[in-house]
Structure 1
């Protein structure tokens, strides 16, 4: 073919392509303009009927009776006219927000993204039947309502995941948010307004995007340790040195320019990077490649992505706290933080290890929100009936000397009468029958240490010190009966009483060692969040993963699947 003819053909082809493109755009604009004009009565009637029926079989979750009232508020001012097929095709922005649900740890398929795209594409192609226009418009509105509600409150309630947690009402006017976003032409405004305002929530979303991108590229497998080898110490030989280096570079624990020996020797910068990785994953940061460390290194990044998604879901259960002091405990992290401002986690004035309840049903530390109202210095340990019946009485029957060694005494269960300081057969029988209650006197052996932090609740859960300080040296610290033991009770007492200047550090120390119980009310009660999440991002931007010690991630997965 001559060059001139070939060029002419290409020009003609380009012209036809451009023409068809403009025709498609014109059809879309025409469709939007047509729908944006005063709709006929049939379209309004279809919208009205859908709202009344509050059900659409084509949707993944067909029933939307929960949103009947918000739909009335959204469509009522416009006389039940469609709202999304505007000249500027705002439906595209609405569907785009639904498509981005995964950025928030949600599932786009929950919001019928593919079905909505097909419906609006058919409308753009010229199918303006009242049934289709009404169906697509109401379905998009319902899906956005669902997205906003899920972002604000979570997809399942905390009770469905085994938590004794109440976030209160957490009101959200989804109709007003979506109408305002339509008026401004920016649908993302509604999404941003519905999300939790916690800084941690934003950091988790950023970490989610990063880890999802990392997980898109497969990692080389880790070879098994040589037969008979239980661990690799620094300086040892391991065939997986290069694979570990690749993993640690990927997640940022090993600098990109770090030099790795080519002889499979585990040494230098790689040992240091493993220590950083161990610290982020709740492991002892000793640089030794043991069973737990290798298991954490071998965990697929897709699993870490899921941990981040589940953590975002749980954060949505929390209420919006005021810009005031807050104490938070994350059970899988075995750590407490005390913040001077709940809105800024960089304002952590205190951080310390804690010991939580054992990973058995009867001893798990419950997840709840309390309010710390007072402290008891040099407290008695009033043993619970369950511990008395199951542990103390059998121990005394075997070893009566335990009574004096642990400085125990008995008091009438009704609360009236003098304490019995000696153990005899009658006292033991009274303890066995429940007529007497055992308690431990204040002092250096007292299980609560020198101070008890009281947040009144029906579960009898509180924070306290402990004489067993050696347990804080363990990396996994689920040893208690459910209450929370703190590593530095005097520092926590100083934080709690910081607005009461008469309580100096010296006076706190004296009260803790006094051997006589005293109660101090807190000037302004402090919210205490006892929480559970296996992924957090600290104020330095480090993504921290913890073991699911109570299997709550699995329970949340089940609750989400059962919706």
Structure 2
């Protein structure tokens, strides 16, 4: 074994079959090579003759600026590859073996980067998201890359790949803006505690100048607006805009929740945007031509069509999701296949055990008042109450259901997309809850604010189901189930940052999924560290 110096790098040489074989060790960029690596006859991808091509320098620049995409340049050995490509372009010409080694290293780094850019860094199942893979076969990143380089369109091709992530462009812009604010003087320390429980119009506050400065930096208050001596005028309007963008009641009152959101630093917001970009890379928002998407932290449903790769929102409405403490709505996607009009509510065993049965023991008349009945194992309906019936329910032999009607917990319509969690969309007899800002009140299923509008979207291509017939079926009081001729994909997603109409909105991490994703990404990064 010989140890030599060449071009400023260590070269390990050893005798193989009577010849001398040397393997570049380019400062951690290139792993020790094998004879097969060095004796390859494949045409280099990143070289023109004996020098790195323009596309090689372009590729290295992409790796160096991976942070602009919310990724980590060090994961792709960007600095070392930049040094190696620069030296190969200006120093002594590399041998064919050395050239092959550098060419392979840059290819591997770009394949890794492109995979992360388009598919994300971690498996969504690690983050409690049971999303299906796209219907079309996954793109062969290696073949895609080689074609783009050989056709000399690497830059436009990568830009097009990155643009396929929904909201990618505004989120990248927002990421740069919030990173630029990290050292802004308005965030050198938290805002001062409130003088009382809350600050209302006309009241004074010692930190009004810094509050004014902070709202200007965030774009909620016009630059140059002087800080008032009291909470009033334009500052109240700016505070309302900030509250609207952060999932708060836009009342212009500076209370504890608003103060807490104001004290979240730009660095923390940038991390929230990075997490959102990661989620969007593996959330299948374009896998079908028509979709119904529920964003859990935002408490919103959007129905849209995908045409020529563009998302066109046709419908949006408020929703109520599962309680954060104990009945969280799971994240997954399935096809909606049925609509049930005037549905029965078959009370899940867990709800019956912990809520309905105790209520009936304390108040037997609750059964009749709520339009409930027992159903035996053989399907017989029993409407009268008896204590032994509750025992049969607890043993699993019987079940309790609620008949169609004005008190039915599912309202007058149910949208069914069969899944292992028994989650579905439905209306509600308590629409007042939609007026709350935070709407996690359900046992896991999702209540929709405008069921007729959603039914019209789902049935828009079925001329047999105009709005009048939909409303009549909902009001009939007779349960009926319609099988959809054209199933519609339903996606239950989780995004705490949303770009809407040129503005950025932040929502609380309702179920702690962002914290879990951040921890998983740190573990992923640690595993990549040499």
Q: Specify whether residues 223 and 208 from structure 1 end up closer, same or farther in structure 2 by C-alpha distance, changes over 3 A only.
A: closer
Q: Which residue of 2 aligns with 1:399?
A: 363
C-alpha displacement at 1:249, in angstroms? 1.4
Q: Specify whether residues 433 and 59 from structure 1 end up closer, same or farther in structure 2 by C-alpha distance, changes over 3 A only.
A: farther
Are 2:138 and 1:171 aligned? yes
Moved more, 107-116 or 505-514: 505-514
Q: Which residue of 1 aligns with 2:192?
A: 224
1:366 to 325, 330, 343: 330
Unaligned segments of structure 1, at least 5 residues: 1-27, 29-41, 51-55, 65-70
CA deviations 1:263-293 (Å, max 9, x no partner) are: 2x11001111111111111101111101010
Aligned CA-pair RMSD: 2.9
d(CA) in 1 for partners of 2:170, 2:355: 44
C-alpha displacement at 1:451, in angstroms? 0.4
Q: Which residue of 2 aligns with 1:390?
A: 354
Q: What TM-score do the two structures reach when normalised by structure 2?
A: 0.87
Q: Specify whether residues 82 and 472 from structure 1 end up closer, same or farther in structure 2 by C-alpha distance, changes over 3 A only.
A: same
Q: Specify whether residues 291 and 192 from structure 1 end up closer, same or farther in structure 2 by C-alpha distance, changes over 3 A only.
A: same
Moved more, 235-244 or 187-196: 187-196
d(CA) in 2 for partners of 1:258, 1:219: 15
C-alpha displacement at 1:526, in angstroms? 1.2
Are 2:389 and 1:421 aligned? no
C-alpha displacement at 1:338, in angstroms? 1.3
d(CA) in 1 for partners of 2:442, 2:427: 12
C-alpha displacement at 1:315, in angstroms? 0.9
Q: Do 2:305 and 2:313's aligned partners in 1 also have CA atoms closer than 8 Å?
A: yes
C-alpha displacement at 1:158, in angstroms? 0.2
Q: Which residue of 2 aligns with 1:306?
A: 271
User: 1:456-495, aligned counterparts within 5 Å?
Assistant: 456-495=418-457
Are 2:238 and 1:273 aligned? yes
Q: Which residue of 1 aligns with 2:126?
A: 160
Q: Which residue of 2 aligns with 1:128?
A: 94
Q: Specify whether residues 521 and 558 from structure 1 end up closer, same or farther in structure 2 by C-alpha distance, changes over 3 A only.
A: same
C-alpha displacement at 1:345, in angstroms? 6.9
Instruction: State the 4+ residue runs in structure 1 displaced beyond 4 angstroms.
Output: 42-47, 129-132, 342-346
Q: Do 1:172 and 1:194's aligned partners in 2 also have CA atoms closer than 8 Å?
A: no
d(CA) in 2 for partners of 1:456, 1:63: 52
Q: Which residue of 1 aligns with 2:69?
A: 104
Q: Which residue of 2 aligns with 1:5?
A: none
Moved more, 319-328 or 508-517: 319-328
CA deviations 1:47-73 (Å, max 9, x no partner) are: 9xx9xxxxx99359x799xxxxxx99x
1:534 to 456, 473, 496: 496
d(CA) in 2 for partners of 1:151, 1:425: 60
If each structure's strand is expressed as a fraction of its own residues, which one has the higher value? Answer: 2
Q: Which residue of 2 aligns with 1:325?
A: 290
Q: Which residue of 1 aligns with 2:11?
A: none
d(CA) in 2 for partners of 1:285, 1:226: 18
Q: Do 1:372 and 1:453's aligned partners in 2 also have CA atoms closer than 8 Å?
A: yes
C-alpha displacement at 1:494, in angstroms? 2.0
Q: Secondary structure at the match of 1:347?
A: strand
d(CA) in 2 for partners of 1:170, 1:561: 29
CA deviations 1:121-141 (Å, max 9, x no partner) are: 443333735665443222111
d(CA) in 1 for partners of 2:212, 2:371: 55
C-alpha displacement at 1:190, in angstroms? 4.0
Q: Secondary structure at the match of 1:316?
A: helix
Q: Do 1:322 and 1:343's aligned partners in 2 also have CA atoms closer than 8 Å?
A: no
C-alpha displacement at 1:343, in angstroms? 6.2
d(CA) in 2 for partners of 1:504, 1:420: 36
CA deviations 1:535-556 (Å, max 9, x no partner) are: 1101x11111000011001111
Q: Which residue of 1 aligns with 2:82?
A: 117
Q: Which residue of 2 aligns with 1:16?
A: none
Count of residue pairs brought into register by the alignment: 499
Q: Specify whether residues 389 and 288 from structure 1 end up closer, same or farther in structure 2 by C-alpha distance, changes over 3 A only.
A: same
Q: What TM-score do the two structures reach when normalised by structure 1?
A: 0.82
Q: Which residue of 1 aligns with 2:10?
A: none
Q: Which residue of 1 aligns with 2:465?
A: 503
1:562 to 514, 523, 530: 523
1:434 to 396, 421, 444: 396
d(CA) in 1 for partners of 2:147, 2:522: 33
Q: Which residue of 2 aligns with 1:144?
A: 110
